[in-house]
Structure 1
């Protein structure tokens, strides 16, 4: 089954979980779903998050498939296979943590771990109709996770309900406050609805969600949002090129990865410096917006996922990350929750963004939205 690169059975009798193939499991090769890394020797020790899960009694059921080298938004992989979108098999599952989202959506695992460098947890979660959380940058250990160095990447969980998201966060995070994450949100919740470009149906769904949840909502304009998207692209290009650019010479990369890594290598030092300046400014803008509201909400993706046929025919998907990538740049915690859309059998994603370090509050407020949207 192409949701898994490898089926495993490790650990205790606790909840089942799949682990993205950029996260080390001792005794198994971490190949990032790439032919160029197929001969990688087995990891000699678990990534810290894996060790924590096993110590907590979780049961690992597989290494999750993914977009090759975690460098793509579609989830299409012609080497290891393309995971099935649980909402609509004709559509892309999203990338790069495609197998993690699909495994959860297809109920092959209670939860999954993915990584999010430019939206790679939240994007697939929205495509596949599940929940995905990108924690605050640095909140969850990246020891034993590829690429080894990143100023954007975060390890985080997927699940079908917030209860399991909270359980996974408690397992993988040293100081996660379970009581705060499960605290009932019965008082007034103040949310800022970020002004963004998305389809009218999805924008309307976001506004309705705030109303259904009984939140005090006001519109927020984030200065530098578009610039933050471009800056995030520049930095991921530099850092991915540094980590994996040498694999171009192997001749074993998929055509899309070969082209993207060659283009990424052309990012200049001046572009990187400019991106870091934008990072500082945008981070300050998000911090400022969160001074007057509990969380920011906006769509996860600007539209429903395109079909596999459209993606293979060359339809651009870079815009898929326009609303999620900026929060990798700023480092704020951001969660995608399934969002009903009028007139569509598919659910979109509601993105909930919180203050740095306030991952527990994001989870608690997301549970409030979850309950209201299910009512």
Structure 2
């Protein structure tokens, strides 16, 4: 599947038809999905009808939009008109169909993009591995014996496998960034509150963000421009860069640390900020309390659902949230306010902060632990170790994919000041340009 910006340019110039592009995307899904299980539903008929209409508009001299004919997928917690929003949950199979598209889905379709399907995810977004006991595990396109990360694993895998050119996901504690890193694609998680979440099933409303995945920086920039309703400002001046050390170095493998330093070298002179272990762990603990309480509040009725409809992992999470004292939740929210202010102050001196996305590259499904230094880490509990403090602070992040020594992808978080997605995308463009036609990134710009 070609890049989104190339497809849109070709379709608008009538060098290719949207019908042919969509037919190719559907063929790619049919080829790849049996091995990776990225798609929950494929909308073949409606996608072809939409593509035909785009071609008709172009023939009539009407511009269908900046993403004309671009195939995209949406994580299955985004509402699609007339479809059940399953969100990886067997308990939701009989839920009423959505009455309208989620705002993000509508924005992409209004820009000319073609929705070809919804993607698999961890049950109700409560997970970090891409595993799902009801609908099967999403498998990494680079190695089907390895995880994609989660909970937006299906969307990341769909882009990495070339099934679609763009995909929507959501991120609470790392659910866009970790899959992007492990699958080797670009992603953006905007500032908390930057994009409208209407029509997206909530996990933890105080932390949830929507964003997306793309094979290249230009594609990601085009996706963000449509979702945000405006193009990100072009940043021409030099970026002031810092690498986050301390906690972010202690809990990262050597190749994850090397990926950060490779990226930093492209952006020029940089400093290191030592982030205290106790402060970052406190942020993680507070984020976990908020996540558990809010998902339990949003889905409390599932505690009464039949055992076969709710996995033991999700039931445990719901119980933990339901039994959390209100005072703990209130203290976690108060700490979040202080932590956001503390992290925001770093941007008085810097434009971009760099950190590893995950402690390690994609684990095998058979891996019970992965050793970092003297610590044996369980993948399911630690894939979001390095992303969680950043989303707790509400900061925007672009994930830059880098190939590690083991030839599996890793990711680097390009972290910006609140509402400065432009700086994140500017850094991403420089990295993509520098690594073009090299083996250091898993995708070119």
Length-normalised TM-score, structure 2: 0.79
Q: Would the aligned equivalents of 2:235 and 2:426 in 1 still touch at CA under 8 Å?
A: yes
Residue 190 of structure 1 and its aligned partner are, at CA, apart by: 1.6
- Work out whether residues 304 and 348 of structure 1, in 8 Å CA contact, stay in contact via their aligned partners in 2: yes
Counterpart contact for 1:220–1:289, Cα < 8 Å: no
> Which of 5, 22, 40 matches 1:5?
40
Deviations 1:238-259 (A, max 9, x none): 1111111321211211232222
- Name 2:212's counterpart in structure 1: 157
* Alignment of 1:113 onto 2:168: yes
Counterpart residue number, 1:129: 184
Whole-angstrom CA distance in 1 between matches of 2:215 and 2:433 = 13
- Per the alignment, residue 254 of structure 2 pairs with 200
- Secondary structure in 1 matching 2:206: coil
Quote the offset at 1:161 in angstroms: 0.6
Q: For residues 191 and 266 of structure 1, do their structure 2 counterparts lie closer, same or farther at Cα, with a shift above 3 Å needed?
A: same
Q: Which residue of 2 aligns with 1:352?
A: 414
Q: Which residue of 2 aligns with 1:261?
A: 318
1:277 paired with 2:338, answer no
Higher normalized helix content (fraction of residues): 2
Aligned residue for 1:309, secondary structure, equals coil
Question: Is the CA contact 2:267–2:430 (under 8 Å) kept in the aligned structure 1?
Answer: no
Larger Rg: 2
Q: Is the 8 A contact 2:302 2:310 kept in 1?
A: yes
**Contact map agreement 1:97 1:121 (CA 8 A) in 2:** yes
Is 1:230 the counterpart of 2:292? The answer is: no
Q: Does 1:172 align with 2:227?
A: yes
Question: Are the equivalent residues in 2 in contact too, given 1:17–1:59 (CA < 8 A)?
Answer: yes
Alignment deviations for residues 310-357 of structure 1 (CA, whole Å, 9 cap, x no partner) = 259x9452222121111221111012110232x211121000110111
- Structure-2 change in CA distance of 1:318 and 1:106 (3 Å): same
State the Cα distance separating 1:149 from its structure 2 match: 6.7
Query: Could you say which residue in structure 2 is the equivalent of 1:286?
Result: 343
CA distance in 2, matches of 1:311, 1:155: 30
Matched residue, 1:216: 269
Q: Following TM superposition, by how much is the alpha carbon of 1:214 offset from its aligned partner in structure 2, in angstroms?
A: 4.0
Give the whole-Å Cα distance in 1 for the aligned partners of 2:69 and 2:368.
38
Structure 1 distance, partners of 2:433, 2:280, is 30
By how many angstroms is 1:229 displaced? 1.3
Is 1:331 aligned to residue 394 of structure 2? yes
Q: Is the 8 A contact 1:209 1:373 kept in 2?
A: no
What is the TM-score normalised by the length of structure 1? 0.93
Partner of 1:59: 114
Q: Which secondary structure does the structure 2 equivalent of 1:156 belong to?
A: strand
Corresponding residue for 2:63? none
Instruction: Could you tell me which runs of 5 or more consecutive residues in structure 1 were left unpaired when the two chains were aligned.
Output: none
Distance 2:302 2:368 in 1: 24
CA distance in 1, matches of 2:355, 2:394: 17
Instruction: Give the 3 Å change call, closer, same or farther, for CA 315–221 of structure 1 in structure 2.
Output: closer
Give the match's secondary structure for 1:210: helix
Structure 1 contact 222–289 (Cα < 8 Å) conserved: no
Moved over 3 A (4+): 9-13
Match of 1:188 in 2: 238
Cα contact 2:362–2:408 (8 A) shared by 1: no
Output one character per residue of 1:136-168: Cα deviation in whole Å (capped at 9) or x when no partner.
111111011111870100110101111111111
SS at 2:178 equivalent? helix
The whole-number CA distance in structure 2 between the counterparts of 1:373 and 1:18 is: 27
CA contact (8 A) 1:188 1:216 kept: no
Q: CA RMSD in A?
A: 1.9
Match of 1:301 among 358, 367, 370: 358
Whether the 8 Å CA contact 1:222–1:286 is kept in 2: the answer is: no
Question: 1:184–1:295: structure 2 CA closer, same or farther, 3 Å change rule?
Answer: closer
Local SS of the residue matching 1:89: strand
Partner of 2:156: 101
The gaps in structure 2 that reach 5 residues or longer are: 1-32, 55-67, 370-376, 439-445
